[in-house]
Amino acid sequence: MAEVRNLICISCPMGCNLTVTRDGDNITVTGNTCKNGEIYGIEEVTNPKRVIPTTVVCNGGKLKRLPVKTADAVPKSMIFDIMKEINKVSVDAPVEVGQVIIPNVLDTGVDVVATRTMPAE
């Protein structure tokens, strides 16, 4: 029996309406207008992933919080566990954009990186 799911693609702000049909190992995506839509559709029914944007405590910087993100999408089921790890961290300014804050967070193979340059105060 083929399983059909209607999704909204979150790859970009276009928000295409996708129809993902799963018949065993055979997954087809329709309604997408680009390659990213197909990738998103397949991942969303097999292993849904998200990028986590958040902040860490920053000492001695221009701001008290440094924005960070997972450099790539991580499994959706791990979001709250990864948030716990990120919340343990505090960094000292100065920080460069792209600087790795947590390497390979919870063995996902994905780094948590700074999303802005934070000069020291």
Partner 1 sequence: MEKVYDTVVLGGGPAGLAAAIEAKKNGAEDVLILERDRELGGILNQCIHNGFGLHTFNEQLTGPEYAERFIDQAKELDIPYELDTMVLDLEDEGDLKRIHAVNEENGYQTFDTKSVVLTMGCRERPAGAIGIPGFRPAGVFTAGTAQRFINMEGYMCGKKAVILGSGDIGLIMARRMTLEGAEVEAVCELMPYSNGLQRNIVQCLDDYDIPLKLSHTITFIHGKDRVEGVTIQEVGPDLKPIPGTEERIDCDVVLLSVGLLPENEISRNAGVEIDARTNGPVVSELRETSIPGVFAAGNVVHVHDLVDFVSEEAALAGKGAGKYIQGTLDQEPDFKTVAGPGLGYVVPQNVSLDNVDDSITFYMRVRNVLEDKVINAYIGDEKVATKRAQKFLPAEMVNFKISKKTLEKYPDGEEIRFVIEDKPVPKKKA
Interface positions with partner 1 (CB under 8 A):
7-13, 15-17, 50-55, 57, 62-65, 67, 69, 76, 79, 83, 97, 115-117
- Nearest distance, CB of residue 106 and partner 1, angstroms: 16
Residue 65 or 92: the one with the smaller Cβ distance to partner 1 is 65
When the beta carbons of 12 and 23 are compared against partner 1, the nearer one is: 12
Least distance in Å: CB of 25 to partner 1?
25
Please report, as a single letter, which amino acid is at residue 100: V
φ, ψ dihedrals at 82, nearest 5°: -70, -40
Looking from the CA of 107 toward its CB, the CA atoms found within 13 Å total 0
Residue at token pair 């097999």:
46
